[in-house]
Amino acid sequence: MSPLKSIIAFGLLITSAFSFGLAHAETKKIVLVAGKPSHPPRMHEFNAGVQLMAKCLSGVPEVDVQFVLNGWPQDETIFDDADAVVFFMDGGGKHEIVQQYGRRLKLIDDWAKRGVGLGFMHYGVEVLADQAGNEMKRWIGGHYEHLFSCNPIWQPAFETFPEHPVTRGVEPFEIKDEWYFNMRFVADIVGNRSDEAAGIKFVPILVAVPSADVRDGPYVYPRGPYPHIQASEGRAEAMMWTVEREDGGRGFGFTGGHFHDNWGNDNFRKVVLNGLLWIAQAEVPEGGVESSVSASDLDANLDPKRSRK
């Protein structure tokens, strides 16, 4: 090959590599869906929470975070081209995702089949088994089941973490929250260790051992104790987990998030922000997502609520 042809070939190779890099650095779109207001002030502050998460991710390159306030959006075009959708809202029998006679469930199922990442947070992880249990197991590996799972307010110590992008930069921490546990996981796995079942690669992220007092009660609703919860005394429980699905998509469940002010804890916040990037298949920084939250940030966008006397 002549020197001129070699130079041209080299130039074409560089151009091709540069174009390939641009093609693989496309912006990842994350949609955060906040539920309607519920509970007393500074609890279940879904609207403030998604706006705070969006603010914390605003400096991350190649990530476009959009949010929906006060429930399912009237204009569903916000979901167009989303790489991940996360639901931070009330759940149970009136969960936003089960409305419209299953239309929304089918829509989300279609997203999952295309590899869209899915995340559910706090009360949003609870569905009725006969309404959406199978879907939640497929999408994120499990869900809260009434009278099987439990919802005590307690302070677990998260001391060790698996090697996973979601745990990057996360240091041991403990924090009081309404941490649900004993989830109904896919194939009835316990969920406190990595596993593979029904085509899902499951990794627990936040794991701790509830004390006997926590297992005995008190429970927020309904009142405990539950014999089957007591029978597992000494067992570690997963309160955040991730999955990789056969469709190529990813998902996570996070059972904390009851108390809004917990977003002020750097490690609590970082593990969730890392999770948002990971399910969107965006790059999680080596040290995790760095962010800071001030008292005024925590006070911003709170729902107008009256304190219960």
Domain parsing of the chain, residue ranges: 27-299
| Among the listed residues 26, 85, 44, 60, the one whose alpha carbon sits nearest the alpha carbon of residue 261 | 44
How do 237-244 and 63-68 pair as beta strands?
Answer: unpaired
Q: What is the pTM of this model?
A: 0.92
Residue 120 pLDDT class (50, 70, 90 cuts): very high
Give the pLDDT confidence score for residue 2 in this predicted structure.
52
Residue 5 pLDDT > 50: no
Q: Has residue 234 got a pLDDT over 60?
A: yes
pLDDT greater than 50 at residue 6:
no
Phi/psi at 176 (5° precision): -80, 130
Encode pLDDT of 196-223 as tens digits.
999 999 999 999 999 999 999 877 788 8
Q: 106: pLDDT confidence band, cut at 50, 70 and 90?
A: very high
CATH fold of the domain at 27-299: Rossmann fold (3.40.50)
Q: What is the distance between the alpha carbons of residues 127 and 134, in angstroms, rounded to a whole number?
A: 10
Summarised one tens digit per residue, pLDDT across range 50-104 is 999 999 999 999 999 999 999 999 999 999 999 999 999 999 999 999 999 999 9
Q: Can you state the angle between helices 266-279 and 46-56, rounded to 10 degrees? A: 80
Contact assessment for residue 115 and residue 251, using Cβ atoms and an 8 Å cutoff = no
Are 172 and 232 within 8 A, CB to CB?
no
